[in-house]
Structure 1
Amino acid sequence: MRTKAFQRIYTKLTKITKATCDVVAQGVRYGELGWVNGQPAQVISVVDEVVTLQVFSGTEGLSSESEVVFSRTPPTLKVGDLLAGRFLNAYGDPIDGGPALVGEERLINGDTVNPVKRAKPSTLLATGIAGIDLNNTLVTGQKIPFFADSDQPYNQVLAEVAMRAEADKIILGGMGLSNDDYLFFKNTFARAGVLDKIVSFINTAENPPLERLLIPDMACTAAEYFAHDQQQNVLVLLTDMTLYADALAIVANKMDQIPSKDAMPGSLYSDLASIYEKSVQFGHGGSITIIAVTTLNEGDITHAIPDNTGYITEGQLFLKHDTDIGKVIIDPFRSLSRLKQNVIGKKTREDHPQVMNALIRLYADAMGAKTKRENGFDLNEYDEKCLAFAKEYAMRLLAIDINIPIDEMLDTGWYLFAKYFQKYEIGVKEQLIEKYWKVQETESELAPQL
């Protein structure tokens, strides 16, 4: 070790793996940033004076005499109103060609909010996507994942949510994005004219995988500034948490830690929870809502990543390809928002719970009729009506490209009831039928445009 310009430089590595290296150093803290031969690294373990750093770009080319320098601070982000509209990398540096950030410097990866400062999530968060707002209504301060196969258009869905959600600020955290996906987000936001309310932290597939570990903390730090300091409703969109977990596994495996289920580190639950638990409804105003994509391996919901995620979050949203209409829909059976009861029928129209339940029940009857047909059984008149209803229901209210207000979703539901069924077949309270059924029978503007 030698000192140069008041900065300690260590020149003796005691251990090198494919992702980490060890050095004997004094006064180093967990989470501190450093550089190994000029490559960014972060302290992930301190035992006595043995310091382990994860080198984000990998340890290829390092030797036992490589130089190690510590910053004496953990990663930080400069926060301020000028964050809006910017595209930044995992270190919070601009990648959009704009000026350097100016603002208050804050440590990332802070503590979660004290429960006594949290308020009950009870404010509607409308996304404009019918399959979410009608059947799986979200509230501010909620945390919920999108479970999707890798070939499904989950990033397009997130972009639609970002453009249409009733939020003051949108924070996008992209991990392992292809350059096409990065440009898709950037161009989509620019064309829609919503850049002034969006902050994006981007790690592409060309960047070191370990840099993904910084993205969620950067996104949540920006969200905390706008939600807590500015009392704004903030929506955090994270994609893809499977690639984030893979980066955790890389570090754990290279440190010779014993893997847990599906080769994931034993700390996976805590690592995921430390991100999702940043969602909050502040008592003084402002909120952080988190929607995060978790891609599935051939639809395997039992894998450690979605399995742990399900225990942490308050429901889940599933994407599904509907072969009858040739579109991707929000699966009404597997999707669930556990907090929707806080707002449906209270912050939305009185008929919302009844219409939602009736639509899904009739859709379930249609799936039963479809199974009968596939097995060669004869269908009755009710079965035929359900099948015709299900196709139009999926086209008009479940497809991910349907973006309409919640009241229009409900009106469409009443239109479908009146078109395909008798009043006694839908199972809705009589007083609601009397109030809404006759109206829908005469509203020709709701006629389907299929």
Structure 2
Amino acid sequence: MSLSVITYDRILSIIGEVVRVALPPQVRMDPNGPRYGDLAVVREGEGEARLAQVVKLDPGEASLQVFGGAQGLSTRACVQFLGHPPRVAFSGNIMGRVFTGAGAVADGGPPLSQEPQVEIGGPSANPARRALASRMIRTDVPMIDVFNSLVESQKIPIFSTAGEPHNTLLARIGVQADADVVVFGGLGLTFDDYWRFRATFEDAGVFARTVMFVNQAADPPLERLLVPDMALAVAEKFAIEEKKRVLVLLTDMTAFADALKEVGVAMERVPSNRGYLGDLYSQLARRYEKAAVFHGAGSVTILSVTTMPGGDVTHPVPDNTGYITEGQFYLRDGFIDPFGSLSRLKQHVIGKETREDHSAVMNTMIRFYAGARDAERKQAMAFELSDYDLRLLRYGALFKTRFMDITTSIPLEAALDLGWKTMAECFSPEELLVRQNLIDTYYPAQAA
């Protein structure tokens, strides 16, 4: 008997957005009965059908998470299981389209109900079948390209706080990155933020290679649990079947973790650190580990935003994220912090895929900027400054203006040339402590 034609009308309880329904004996023994992650429809009388998902199975009962919220439902409601986990449309026709957090068309365009469907939330690729990361994804953001290169198959977050321009940075990377496809997943965005992302992609002429899944702040919070899975399922299909280089942009994964906590509270699960559940690490890792380079196919790279409540990096979400991902970009005071940021895969491309002077420029410029910060502290404490200190201060001001501004857009080679020019304006060749052959080739002749 098909599960979809059986009506389950014995509701045991409704707590928050979680509905517990009793399963009859014949279904309890059926190996094809409801499974964890399957979808269901909850309806009361002639009311609107609400989509739900199985989040827990116990002997004789199933717990369902209602994405539209359980407000207005009573124990007289009925449940029908659909017999499959959530699915999302996948074909070339989804390019340039916007979907809700539940996968429905949200841009007023034609429906895609006849398009092939792909199940979301599947396992990540076997690590033994992945290719080694060896290609750089250029973003034209100098603080990334020069100092912490983004590499194909990398999973890396932007650690930020409220009020920082992380959405501006993420949109700029989506526009400028040399990826074939950009899949955007927005979690809990205000309408203004959503529209700013969309307008940025459209104005830059890249919307045709972009797919957007957006859960807005006014939408059911629990739909935020589906957005990363839908975005990553589509990205994986583009990478494997279409052999595309796919960049997945996710904002904000702290909102995703908060939705997980909300479900756990409704299910009366024992909380762990600061109210988050003990499986937070596993839930985040399931999504981030989708990043991969596939042999003979394309790749999936994940760049996410993780907001730190109160700027606390020990908060459970950024803390767990740091153990999963391969570095991080710290956004502080409107700048990408050159000291807190780190890309653990940059050594795979620097000097191999990029210019021979890349490593020297990166290390030397950061060394001088660290000296400039020390000189600023000496100046603040009214110490006497040497001529070298004054040149460090001048260099620090130039570095912040030319490189750290997140609105700056410079191709990598031009950024390296600008690095040499900036250092030459403040320091002699001997003070750079760089190999002579690089100085002979790249140090500006007019400054020598």
1:79 maps to which residue?
A: 90
1:68 maps to which residue?
A: 79
- Looking at structure 1, the residues matched to 74 and 203 of structure 2 have their Cα atoms a distance apart, in angstroms, of 48
Give the 3 Å change call, closer, same or farther, for CA 61–438 of structure 1 in structure 2.
Answer: closer
- Looking at structure 1, the residues matched to 292 and 335 of structure 2 have their Cα atoms a distance apart, in angstroms, of 28
Deviations 1:43-82 (A, max 9, x none): 0011223100011232222222211121111100121111
- Looking at structure 2, the residues matched to 83 and 4 of structure 1 have their Cα atoms a distance apart, in angstroms, of 31
Where does structure 2 lack aligned partners over 5 or more consecutive residues?
A: 28-32, 44-48
Amino acid at match of 1:344: I
- Looking at structure 2, the residues matched to 294 and 250 of structure 1 have their Cα atoms a distance apart, in angstroms, of 18
Amino acid at match of 1:340: K
1:280 maps to which residue?
A: 292
Alignment of 1:32-111 (within 5 A): 32-37=38-43, 38-101=49-112, 102-111=114-123
- Looking at structure 1, the residues matched to 331 and 124 of structure 2 have their Cα atoms a distance apart, in angstroms, of 30
Which segment drifts farther, 214-223 or 36-45?
36-45
Which segment drifts farther, 15-24 or 226-235?
15-24
2:361 maps to which residue?
A: 355
2:7 maps to which residue?
A: 9
Query: Contact (CA 8 Å) 1:232, 1:287: kept in 2 or not?
Result: yes
Query: Contact (CA 8 Å) 1:241, 1:292: kept in 2 or not?
Result: yes
Alpha-carbon offset, residue 381 of structure 1: 1.1
2:259 maps to which residue?
A: 247
Deviations 1:264-287 (A, max 9, x none): 111100000000000001111300
Alignment of 1:10-409 (within 5 A): 10-25=8-23, 26=27, 27-37=33-43, 38-101=49-112, 102-321=114-333, 328-409=334-415
Where does structure 1 lack aligned partners over 5 or more consecutive residues?
A: 322-327, 443-450
1:325 maps to which residue?
A: none
Query: Contact (CA 8 Å) 2:4, 2:83: kept in 1 or not?
Result: no
- Looking at structure 2, the residues matched to 219 and 76 of structure 1 have their Cα atoms a distance apart, in angstroms, of 11
Query: Contact (CA 8 Å) 1:414, 1:440: kept in 2 or not?
Result: no
Give the 3 Å change call, closer, same or farther, for CA 386–88 of structure 1 in structure 2.
Answer: same
Query: Contact (CA 8 Å) 1:131, 1:329: kept in 2 or not?
Result: no
Alpha-carbon offset, residue 4 of structure 1: 11
SS of residue paired to 1:414: helix
What is the TM-score of this pair, normalised by structure 1?
0.94
Alpha-carbon offset, residue 5 of structure 1: 11
Query: Contact (CA 8 Å) 1:355, 1:413: kept in 2 or not?
Result: yes
- Looking at structure 1, the residues matched to 159 and 179 of structure 2 have their Cα atoms a distance apart, in angstroms, of 22
Alpha-carbon offset, residue 395 of structure 1: 0.9
Which segment drifts farther, 184-193 or 173-182?
184-193
- Looking at structure 1, the residues matched to 133 and 100 of structure 2 have their Cα atoms a distance apart, in angstroms, of 31
1:445 maps to which residue?
A: none
Amino acid at match of 2:74: S
Alpha-carbon offset, residue 440 of structure 1: 6.5
Which segment drifts farther, 417-426 or 232-241?
417-426
Which segment drifts farther, 349-358 or 74-83?
74-83
Among candidates 401, 417, 426, match of residue 411 of structure 1? 417
Q: In angstroms, what is the RMSD of aligned CA positions?
A: 1.5
Aligned residues: 434
Amino acid at match of 1:69: Q
Amino acid at match of 1:279: A
Query: Contact (CA 8 Å) 1:418, 1:440: kept in 2 or not?
Result: no
Alpha-carbon offset, residue 357 of structure 1: 0.3
- Looking at structure 1, the residues matched to 195 and 204 of structure 2 have their Cα atoms a distance apart, in angstroms, of 14
SS of residue paired to 2:83: coil
Percent identical: 44
- Looking at structure 1, the residues matched to 387 and 312 of structure 2 have their Cα atoms a distance apart, in angstroms, of 37
